[in-house]
Structure 1
């Protein structure tokens, strides 16, 4: 397959170069992504797995049949550093668990064995719903069942080399107490960030002073210790022989450190790329512990899952705001690209579409002539509280899909109604038209009154003609339409709206909004 410009295929080509185009000794190419279950999974969390999968599928397309595998790794043995905002109402109960591994903390939602198990289950449910093929691995299980034992003994053997990598990256005060090993306190069960005073490689034990000042000795094996997060990253790469990892920009500065530690432990660092972090509506970084990210359920309640995949795929190395208000624009962009893709006859051009990469080559084969924005304005115009009302209007359109014909469109219609009722209706405010605008609306009514069935484009031209005859700026005229009739600053092509809503219904709408008696 010829080289494609999409970032997924560019990354796939780099992975192929890394393995010299040959099947690795383990028999497959390993893709990995990590996840910290410190709070409710959000779309950013889901996006990490989705993006890795997109690169994985791109690699499969260009590699000539080399097998692949995806690991989703949960850092669930980390100590809880603070109470997540998502359970702040129970903060007084959970203060006692600060510092304990996330898998050793009770589930505040009383559904699973631990806090981490609940978060892990939520993430896996999301991934399963989208049909991702992956192997889930828990840090707690890997440490406790001995998966990492052989690497942990190497960390002891290469202790000085690892310290030589880590110490220059730390503040002077931190250098005095730093150790790559974090023992699990045998008294409290907390993850201890303490200096190591002795180490016995033959026995596989370390000694340290606990929080009470008492000297303790513990095995580094089978869950007696875990590693600091930076050495842990590199150790995991070496342990699993990871070939590709994608991580957030906040890890970018540490990528070199992870790679150095992986090499020290005898591994070959994976090819790595980073993605920019998602921001909330105020431009702040989305955080699992703060709970300021939009959930996958919130997106899927308002739009088809294909549009979420498209949003996740686009420009990963550019920071993007992620909040409910982006959905209408995203859906309409998706529809535009989908229609263009399915109109295109040249397969080479089709492969350059971002949808080809986002859908891993399996782009839906249908066209949609109704925009999400149009559905929102229709819902507002008819005061719709139900999907059934919207479908009555859609069925009038000759080219619109029938209900049940295209699952994407069915979901788009129901999602638009949900979005309108939850987020649009409460904030839309109609403004009164000016005297000049009233003249234009009266002329529009007169023109529509003598029309029979017209195409959306013919109706759009008619609306344009009103601005010309009234010596109005076209942009200002359409703004007046949207603000006066719909309470929004922009909207769909008004000719398309008239065709969908109906000429007589549009006349009534204008009269009700502008010429109340």
Structure 2
């Protein structure tokens, strides 16, 4: 069973069964896969860990990252990789076409808050995937829908862009309009990057943060190229139009 003494809640206090702080096994499995929980516990068993809702998305993505890296690792790296221990020595070979973090950004958007709708976006982004052929991806989409509904959507608040940001957003809209509908994340990321460099932001980080805050309603977010490729160029241009509309409304 769990050694409760080794886990801290998000305030850094030890988790006690009687106090009920922290996170139950059932709660984790509503938002994250079983292997991701095993991975999280196994990775540094001697250190106290922060076991709270906020650690789940990273734990899921790190599990998949370590699992994906395993086949090409040198033997000494393989020995330090927890994934084979989680899977009884047989590491599954399937990989994911996108991260849990990126899925969360998708299913937090209005109108994509259910599994079937999310699958339509995923299948366009990663042709050949399906609920039947990719059960782990299917599970992950369901978990992301749960997590987004309970913890992400209630915190989102899109703000109106400043004049500088609105100018850059108009520029980005023009660049996206030139791209083919099936442009990949890399091509889109380059376009986003170039637009940011053309406008007098203090740093590119400021540009990306403006995109997260005005388009997604969050202070942090995904790699924008991947997000726009997943959500679709036309849909992403609608988000830009909504943001520019809010500037007019506030102006």
TM-score (norm 1): 0.45
In the TM superposition, 1:127-276 aligns within 5 A as none
Q: 8 Å contact 1:431–1:487 — kept in the other structure?
A: yes
Q: Aligned with 1:309: secondary structure?
A: helix
Retained in 2: the 8 A contact 1:280–1:292? yes
Q: How does 1:446-465 map to 2 (within 5 A)?
A: 446-452=174-180, 453-465=182-194
The answer as to 2:161 corresponding to 1:433 is yes
Find the aligned partners of 2:179 and 2:189 in 1 and give their Cα distance: 13
Q: Tell me the equivalent position of 1:500.
A: 230
Taking a change above 3 Å as real, the CA distance of residues 373 and 400 of structure 1, as seen in their structure-2 partners, is farther
Q: Paired residue for 1:311, among 20, 37, 40?
A: 40
Q: CA deviation at 1:379?
A: 1.4
Give the drift of 1:483. Answer: 1.6
CA distance in 1, matches of 2:118, 2:196: 30
Q: How many residues align?
A: 245
Shift of 1:281: 1.5
The offset of 1:334, in angstroms, is 1.6
Give the equivalent residue in structure 2 for 1:284.
13
Residue number in structure 1 paired with 2:206: 476
Question: Which residue is equivalent to 2:101?
Answer: 373
Q: Do structure 1's residue 47 and structure 2's residue 2 form an aligned pair?
A: yes
Secondary structure at the residue paired with 1:401? coil
Distance 1:400 1:287 in 2: 46
**Cross-structure match for 1:412:** 140
Q: Higher relative contact order by CA 8 Å / sep ≥ 6: 1 or 2? A: 2
Deviations 1:346-381 (A, max 9, x none): 555433323223434222211112111111111123
Change (3 A) 1:400 1:412: farther
SS in 1 for 2:35: helix
Which protein has the bigger strand share?
Answer: 1
Give the Cα–Cα distance (whole angstroms) in 2 for the partners of residues 384 and 455 of structure 1.
21
- Match 1:401 to one of 129, 132, 138: 129
CA gap of 1:400–1:495, structure 2 versus 1, over 3 A, is: farther
Alignment TM-score, normalising by the size of structure 2: 0.90
Match of 1:326 in 2: 55
Q: Structure 1: how far apart are the matches of 2:170 and 2:223?
A: 20
Counterpart-to-counterpart distance in 2, 1:324 and 1:399:
32
Task: Choose between structure 1 and 2: higher helix proportion.
Answer: 2
1:491 aligns with 2:217: no
Deviation at 1:310, TM superposition (A): 0.6
For the residues of structure 1 that align with 2:128 and 2:29, how far apart are their CA atoms? 22
Task: Please give the alpha-carbon distance, in whole angstroms, between the structure 1 residues aligned to 2:41 and 2:65.
Answer: 17
Q: CA RMSD in A?
A: 1.9
User: For the residues of structure 2 that align with 1:400 and 1:465, how far apart are their CA atoms?
Assistant: 32
SS of residue matched to 1:446? helix
Between the aligned partners of 1:434 and 1:338, the Cα distance in structure 2 is 42
Structure 1 spans left out of the alignment, 5+ residues: 1-45, 49-247, 250-276
> C-alpha separation between the residues in 2 aligned to 1:367 and 1:301?
21
User: 2: distance between equivalents of 1:480 and 1:332?
Assistant: 25
d(CA) in 1 for partners of 2:240, 2:178: 16
Structure 1 counterpart SS, 2:137: helix
